[in-house]
Amino acid sequence: QVQLVESGGGLVQSGGSLRLSCVASGRTLTSYGMGWFRQGPGKERECVAAISRSGGNTYFLDSVKGRFAISRDNAKNTVYLQMDNLKSDDTAVYYCAATTYLIGIGSDEYNYWGRGTQVTVSS
């Protein structure tokens, strides 16, 4: 079992930045690909970024390319999502997830989920 806890969300003005963190416990993250998902009001959950076990492969949703960065520190069992130039459309609950696949994009590929952290971008 892997427990994931997200932090770093909050209220930020359009154009601002936030850094989300996801700390894992229970098992080492080196066995898992990791992803950040979000679900906005009235929207489906979508993968905004994913990173492979070693960090050598990444994925980004088109709408966040060039603004978001994903990284992992396996020694700290932590995954990060750096979000810059935030827009009102980025407002959502952001979830951290772990997959036994090398890397995943679909929510059904992920085995463990955190409870989420709210990100609100005011225009």
Residue-wise pLDDT tens digits, 51-108: 999 999 999 999 999 999 999 999 999 999 999 999 999 999 999 999 999 999 999 9
Cβ atoms < 10 Å from Cβ of 77: 18
Q: What CA–CA distance (Å, rounded) separates 12 from 4?
A: 24
Q: Which of 112, 100, 103, 84 is nearest to 6 (CA)?
A: 112
**CB-based contact 28:14 (threshold 8 Å):** no
Cβ atoms < 10 Å from Cβ of 63: 13
